[in-house]
Every structure is written in C-alpha cells, then in structure tokens.
C-alpha cells in the first residue's frame, strides 16, 4: 500500500495543526450543538421551560455514555491507524478500521436495547425524580434518543477514523449536515407542531441518521486505508491495541458521567434542604441551571478536545516515524493555544453570565433561576483555564501512545477528584458545594498534570540529545 501521508513528518507544524484541528473543532462543536440546540429551544418554549431543561439535563449524561463507547473505538482506531501508517504498516491500519466498524455496530445496538429496557431505573439514577413533571419529560425524551443511539454512535466513531484517513473536511461536513438538519427541525417540531420533548428528540435523531449515512458512504471510498474482506477479519491483537489507545477517551467521557450522576444526586438531596429550591415549584431549577452551565463548558471543551484530537494523526505519525522533535514542538503550540481558549472562556463566564443564561429562557422563569445561574457560572467555571490545559495533556499523551499515563490522569480528574469532591463538599457548603467541586478538582489535577508535562518534555529532550 502506498503511504500518501509522509507530509505529516515534513510539513509546517502550525499549518498541520490548523489544517487538522480546525475541522475537528468544528465537528465537535457541531456535535455538541445537538443537545445544546435542543435545550435552547426547549427552554424558550413556555409549555416546557425549566422542567424540559431539567429533563434534558437528566438525559444528557446518558448520551455521553454512548459517546464514550464511540470515541473509545473511533479515537483508538484513529491513533492506531496513524501509528501504523507512520511505520508503513498499511494492513494493520485497514484491519483496525474494519474491526472498528463491527465493534461500533454491535455495541450501539446493545446499548440502545439496554436503555429501552431499563429506562425508568436509569432516569431515576440520574436525578429524574426531582419532581413528577421532570420525570415525565425525561422519559419521553429518553425513549426517542435511545432509538437513535446506533446512528449517533456510528457517526461519532467514524468521525476520527475519517480524519485519520486524511479527510478532516469530510468528517466536519458530515457532522455539520446532521446538526443543520436538527437546527431546522427543532423549531418546526417544538413550536410549530407542539410535539414537545418528542419533537426535540426526533429532530436530533433525524440529524444523527444523516451523519451516520454520510459516514457509511465514506467507508466505501477511503483514501489512505483500503478496506477489503480481510479488513474485517477478527484479530485479538488489533482489537486490543485499538481499544487500549482509545481507553483514555472512554474513561474521560464515562468518568464524566459518574461525576454527573454524583452531581445530579447531590443537587436533588441538598436542593430539597434549600429554603427556596426545596419548594415543589422551584425544585427543578438547580438541575436545569447546572445542566446549562455544563453545556457552555461542553462548547469550550469541544474546542479544546478538537484542537488536541486534531493533532492525533500528526503526533501518531511522527511518533511512528521517530520524529520526536516535531512531537515536542506540537505539544508546546497546543498547550499555549489551549490556555488561551480557557482564558477567553473565563472572561465570558465572569463578565457575561446573565447574557448566557438569557439564551436559555431566563425571561420565562423566576428571579431565582437567573440568580442561581449567575452564581453557578462564576463558581463552577472559575478554574476553566486549568481544565483546558488538563484535557490537552490527557489527549496528547494518548496520541503519543502513552495510554497508561493518559488514562491515569483522566481517572484522577474525573473519578478521584470529580466524583469525590462532588460527594464531599455539599456536606459542608450545601448546593454551593456542588459548584465548588469543579474548580477544586481542576486546580488539583493541574498540579499533577504539570509534573507529567515536565517529565514528558524531559523524555523528548533525552531522545533528541541521544
């Protein structure tokens, strides 16, 4: 097989980073817009309001579970393909892609079935019983989202694979097409037809189907990786290597779900003890607001992850080709850019929190809604610069093939700190303790990440000196 990606070892790092990262950023931003757009339209529909917002927040982590499995397969395949092509091993790259398609299809159907069978219990675990109306809307929304899981997972898993094949623009366009369809259909179904939560979910699923179809079409016209019957032949080595390289992506997502579950239950518990939010009419507000803050954070992290994930093919290829000097140079550029994104986001949340919450229907809610939202934005995201740099370090280590270090950092952030502080701090600070859990986790993780970053630079320098 002819290797047509040798330019990754010779081209300008700045241009390569922009060329690969920008489409990836747009793809992830567009993917994030699925849930965010739903929430915006839901929030501004007077017959749904904060109840619908809370329901959307309940279901959101369940879509993240699906995403976690998809990116584990897709990002792992992306890294393995890039490393294989860097070594000139085309057959291994092709086998990874073929088996990734199979793994995605099987896992997505199984997850969809589990969601449909155990929907009531799952919704309860993620805080859907805060009041009866929130539970009803959560169940309605979750049913349709569950039906679309196979399409959602296939589109998300194949997106990084398409980038690794050398077509980042196609990956971007396929995701963009689905999001545009969702944006068009949401107001039609929610405001025009009055389908409520069903309308929001159906619009999302139709968009996901469009993205999945485009990804499937691409699989028949790959460029650097050629698929044939042998590409789908089972290989325990290929499966193991693909999944091990993607396990950090999986854990970073699924551990986020664990943190969300902890946060949701703490909100339900300590919200009930609050003099305002303990009242039935306002009980859903903290859940809805924290969900909105998380959505803004998701937009920022989409940029951060897109910037870092876009570098995976470049990093992997140069690691495989032995060009550690280029790996170090790219790492430096990435860390600087990620810190700049975090600083810009920090300015927005500290200066314009009321403008942000206004997008999500604050005009239709009580003053308690906006006041709690302002506090949530300013506290929960006050250390977002560290969050951005942390995420970049996790993904870059994964791209270098250092899955163990990447996974360890991710687990420390999301499970040890993320879940731990979400459970501990509310006991001392009530609802505000839930908000404090995020910045405390980020600043402590940053201290650990700094040590790993310094060590990584030292190892690359040793290679260069040797």
> Which tens digits make up the pLDDT trace of 292-321?
888 888 889 889 888 887 887 788 778 777
Instruction: Of 169, 165, 152, 154, give the one whose Cα is nearest residue 216.
Output: 154
| Tens place of pLDDT per residue across the chain (466 aa) | 445 566 777 778 888 888 888 877 887 777 677 767 888 888 888 888 888 888 988 898 889 899 889 989 998 998 888 888 878 888 898 999 999 999 999 999 999 999 999 999 999 988 888 888 999 999 999 999 999 999 999 999 998 899 888 888 898 889 889 989 999 999 999 999 999 999 999 999 999 999 999 999 999 888 888 888 888 999 999 999 899 888 777 876 777 788 878 888 898 889 888 889 888 888 888 988 888 888 888 889 889 888 887 887 788 778 777 777 788 888 888 889 999 999 999 999 999 888 888 887 666 677 888 899 999 999 999 999 999 999 888 888 877 767 778 878 888 888 899 899 999 999 999 999 999 999 999 999 999 988 888 888 787 766 544 4
C-alpha distances in Å from residue 28, one per residue of 21, 45, 254, 382: 10, 26, 17, 23
What residues contact 223, with CB distance under 8 A and at least 6 apart?
Answer: 4, 165, 166, 167
Q: Residue 166 contacts by C-beta under 8 Å, 6 or more apart in sequence? A: 4, 5, 223, 224, 313
pTM: 0.75
> Which structure tokens are listed for 384?
């977002």
Of 425, 426, 397, the residue nearest 411 (C-alpha): 397
Region of 234 (left: φ > 0; alpha: ψ -120 to 50; beta: rest) is: beta
- Closest of 294, 272, 292 to residue 282, by C-alpha: 272
Distance between CA atoms of residues 132 and 285, nearest Å:
14
pLDDT for 16 equals: 84
Taking only the tens place, the pLDDT of each residue in 84-104 is 887 888 889 899 999 999 999
The answer to whether the beta carbons of residues 170 and 87 sit under 8 Å apart is: no
pLDDT of residue 208: 94
The tokens of 194 are what?
Answer: 């009055």
């Amino acid at each position: 097989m002819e290797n047509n990606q040798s330019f990754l070892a010779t081209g300008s790092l700045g241009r390569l980073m922009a060329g690969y990262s920008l489409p990836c950023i747009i793809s992830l931003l567009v993917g994030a817009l699925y849930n965010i757009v739903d929430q915006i339209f839901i929030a501004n529909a007077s017959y749904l309001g904060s109840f619908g917002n809370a329901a959307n927040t309940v279901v959101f982590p369940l879509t993240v579970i699906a995403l976690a499995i998809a990116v584990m397969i897709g990002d792992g395949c992306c890294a393995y393909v890039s490393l294989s092509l860097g070594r000139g091993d085309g057959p291994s790259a092709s086998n990874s892609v073929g088996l990734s398609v199979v793994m995605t299809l099987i896992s997505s159907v199984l997850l969809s079935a589990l969601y449909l069978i155990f929907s009531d219990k799952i919704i309860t675990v993620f805080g859907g019983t805060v009041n009866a109306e929130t539970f009803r809307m959560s169940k309605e929304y979750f049913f349709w989202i569950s039906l679309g899981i196979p399409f959602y997972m296939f589109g998300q898993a194949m997106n990084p694979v398409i980038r690794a094949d050398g077509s980042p623009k196609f990956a971007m366009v396929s995701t963009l097409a689905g999001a545009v369809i969702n944006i068009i259909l949401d107001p039609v179904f929610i405001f025009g037809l009055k389908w409520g939560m069903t309308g929001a979910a159906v619009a999302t699923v139709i968009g996901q189907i469009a993205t999945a179809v485009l990804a499937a079409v691409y699989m028949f016209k790959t460029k650097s990786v050629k698929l044939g019957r042998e590409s789908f032949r089972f290989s325990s080595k290929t499966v193991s290597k693909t999944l091990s390289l993607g396990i950090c992506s999986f854990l970073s997502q699924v551990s986020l779900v664990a943190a969300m579950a902890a946060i949701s239950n703490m909100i339900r518990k300590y919200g009930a003890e609050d003099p305002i939010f303990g009242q039935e009419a306002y009980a859903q507000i903290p859940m809805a607001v924290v969900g909105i803050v998380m959505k803004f954070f998701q937009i920022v992290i989409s940029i951060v992850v897109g910037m870092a994930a876009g570098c995976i093919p470049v990093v992997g290829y140069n690691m495989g080709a032995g060009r550690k000097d280029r790996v170090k140079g790219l790492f430096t550029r990435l860390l600087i850019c990620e810190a700049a994104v975090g600083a810009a986001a920090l300015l927005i949340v500290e200066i314009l929190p009321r403008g942000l919450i206004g997008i999500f229907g604050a005009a239709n809610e009580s003053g308690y809604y906006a006041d709690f939202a302002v506090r949530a934005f300013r506290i929960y995201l006050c250390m977002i610069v560290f969050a951005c740099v942390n995420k970049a370090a996790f993904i870059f280590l994964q791209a270098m093939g250092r899955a163990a270090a990447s996974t360890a950092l991710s687990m420390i952030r999301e499970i040890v700190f993320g879940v731990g502080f979400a459970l501990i701090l509310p006991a001392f600070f009530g609802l505000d303790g839930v908000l404090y859990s995020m910045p405390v986790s980020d600043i402590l993780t940053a201290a650990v990440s700094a040590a790993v970053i310094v060590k990584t630079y030292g190892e690359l320098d040793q290679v260069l000196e040797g």
